[in-house]
Amino acid sequence: MKLTGAQILWETLMREGVEVVFGYPGGANLPIYDAMLDYPVRHVLVRHEQGAAHMADGYARACGKVGVAMATSGPGATNLVTGIATAMMDSSPTVFITGQVASKFIGFDAFQETDVTGITLPITKHNYLVTRVEEIAPTLREAFYIASTGRPGPVLVDIAKDAQQHSMDWEYDGRPIKMRGYRPDLRPVPRQIEQAVEMISAAKRPLILAGRGVLLSGAMRELLEFAERANTPVALTLLGISGFPATHPLNLGMMGMHGEAWVNHAIQEADLLLAFGMRFDDRVTGNLKTYATGARKIHIDIDPSEINKNVKVDLGLVGDLRETLRQILDRLEPLEHADWLGQIAQEKGSNAVRDIQSLPGDEHLYAAHVIHDLWRATAGQALIVTDVGQHQMWAAQYFKQDNPHRWITSGGLGTMGFGLPAAIGAKIACPEADVWAIVGDGGFQMTAAELSTAAQEGLKVNVAVINNGFLGMVRQWQEFFYERRYAATPMRSPDFVKLAEAHGLTGLRVTSRAEVEGAIRRARETEGSVVVDFRVEQEDSVYPMVPSGADLHNMIRRPMPIAETAESEI
């Protein structure tokens, strides 16, 4: 069959199961777009390529399939960069396809030429430059294989325009992919499994640190079984949220910089840390010199380079988490840790004063109210996508997410502007889900143009803007560490209600606690996307907080007056 490179591309994507592509056309990928019209694929036209990258990422995180984004050469490709780096840091299975100038012009600074494989080399799991039509199908097959196996990640395929245009006799070659230098299927040896079981059985104060690997590996059931059989409490990383039910008695909550005191203290007092698919990020450990010094450590990760990278461990198991936990469970007897669990429960009891009811409920509106009420009003069933900043931490603390893959956030890179486009991607992946983007007024404006995409696609994505008139997290750091010198953090925003209306969408404004639930209900009942502008306290801070680089047990706690109010109200 005689096909052009562009047709071969779509033939291959169809066989990879691609149903939706997020992208933006331009000079160097016109042949791909022209051929697209003949294939059953949904194309989502974004307003900026960064949006396409985040949408593909959000799509992948919501449904586990590889997310695909497309852009033209030069500025189209460079606009993807932030989104690619975001997907890289959070191990999101994504494929980026960029058009490149014709091969004879490559290297001559042609119009809209950029060395995108060079630029994205350190922020992709792998990337390719394709200059011949014959390479298109095998390269794309490898790209999907690499993106979705082992520790997932972004793969970029840059395709010269002439390769898209040339024709060749083509038949699909579906033989298994063989790559000499790529081994996504490492597994621990039995001796290591036995050693792990011994260490777990001997521990008096064990603690599980669960990360995104739980979700990526699909090890939710195994984690639950392990925690329950070994009676071991679970602390979650920011990206591990939803991998273990938030309302489960063994769930302690999020660890790290904005983790609850009892979680971080438990880490510091544990005698065995079980790190499951997490990477001891600095936001999780604080000062490495004083981190969990009394604990032996077992680390299970599919990426060998994560073992002993930040924290030296006593036992490192390289392999798929689900399969590895299964093997451990085959040998693990039930364990009791009543004293240890009691000790944690006691501290939790004495510190839980910063529960939601602790905040003054008068005419003030706190972000915590909004998120708590959103959780209640959606019966905890919403698919939450956040942006980056204070609202993200509050959402992590107050939205008790029980359902896997219903929590999407930019953790590693901390990309402002991620929320809305990722929510659009998630909505397309899960059309039945009640998708809420929780964003700050700063991050929202970085990619607010994608409201237009949501409108054009007829998507129902609700946006909760936690609007405090500041770049809140930076302001908080200025308050704590820079003597309240608010350099460049006060921010004036447009009227978000009118902004929504300008897009043909609905906008609502909420200024008091009493209006919150009603607005959420209205937003859910309204057809089309809704932007709710929650005007919250301007100078509220996220507590507790471990200052960057400080010891994990040294937290800045909620100021006393609020804590006292709390106790009286509980």
Partner 1 sequence: MYHTIVALVEDKPGVLNRVASLFRRRTFNIESLTVGHTEQPGISRMTIVVDSDDLSIERLTAYLYKLVNVIQVEDLTSLPRVTRDLAMIKVSATAENRTHIMQTVDVFRARIVDVTNSSFIIEITGDEEKIEGFVEVLRPLGIIEMVRTGAVAMARGTNPLYMNGNGHLAESAVRV
Binding site for partner 1 (CB under 8 A): 117-118, 121-122, 125-126, 129, 146, 179-183, 185-189, 303-305, 307-309, 312-319
Closest of 319, 248, 257 to residue 283, by C-alpha: 257
333 is catalytic: no
Helix axes 49-63 and 419-429, enclosed angle (nearest 10): 50
CA distances (Å), 389 to each of 56, 157, 466, in order? Answer: 22, 32, 10
C-alpha 375/C-alpha 381 separation (Å) is: 8
CA distance 94 to 264: 33
| Residue 123: CB minimum distance to partner 1, A | 10
What is the distance between the terminal CA atoms of the chain, rounded to a whole angstrom?
Answer: 73
Distances (CA, A) of 30 to 50, 68, 267, 403, 550: 19, 17, 54, 41, 52
3-state secondary structure of 394: helix
Q: Which of 111, 198, 228, 481 is catalytic?
A: 111
Based on the number of CB atoms within 10 Å of its own CB, is 491 exposed (0-12), middle (13-18) or buried (19 or more)? middle
Helices in 24-99 by DSSP H: which ranges? 30-36, 49-63, 75-79, 81-89
Report which of 265, 280, 223, 275 is spatially closest to residue 248, judged by C-alpha positions: 223
Give min distance, CB of 386 to partner 1, in A: 28
* Cβ distance to partner 1 smaller for residue 324 or 478: 324
Q: Is 161 a catalytic residue?
A: yes
Q: Nearer Cβ to partner 1, position 44 or 307?
A: 307
Which residue in 213, 236, 74 sits closest to 150, CA to CA? Answer: 213
Annotated catalytic residue 480: no
Write out the two tokens for 454. 């949501």
Distance of closest approach, residue 77 Cβ to partner 1, in angstroms: 16
Nearest distance, CB of residue 238 and partner 1, angstroms: 23
What is the nearest approach in angstroms of partner 1 to the Cβ of residue 184?
Answer: 10
Which residue's CB is nearer to partner 1, number 121 or number 514? Answer: 121
Q: How do 20-23 and 67-71 pair as beta strands?
A: parallel
Minimum distance, C-beta of residue 294 to partner 1, in the bound complex (Å): 19
* Chain-centroid distance, C-alpha 224: 21
To the nearest whole angstrom, how small is the minimum distance from the Cβ of residue 307 to partner 1?
5
Q: Report in angstroms how near the CB of residue 21 gets to partner 1 at its nearest.
A: 24
Please report which helix (H) or strand (E) contains residue 126, including its range: strand 126-130
Written as six digits, the tokens of 1 are: 């069959």
DSSP secondary structure code for residue 201 in this structure: H
Least distance (Å) between residue 297 CB and partner 1: 10
Beta bridge partners of 52: none
Nearest-CA neighbor of 550 among 296, 270, 258, 273? 258
Determine which one of 112, 165, 195, 456 is catalytic: 112
Please identify which of the residues 11, 49, 222, 260 carries the catalytic annotation.
49
Q: 91, 95, 89: which is closest to 69 by C-alpha?
A: 95
Does residue 146 contact residue 124 with C-beta atoms inside 8 Å?
no
Nearest to 39 by CA among 57, 79, 12, 72: 12
Catalytic residue among 11, 89, 135, 161: 161
Give catalytic residues, as residue numbers: 49, 111-112, 161, 473
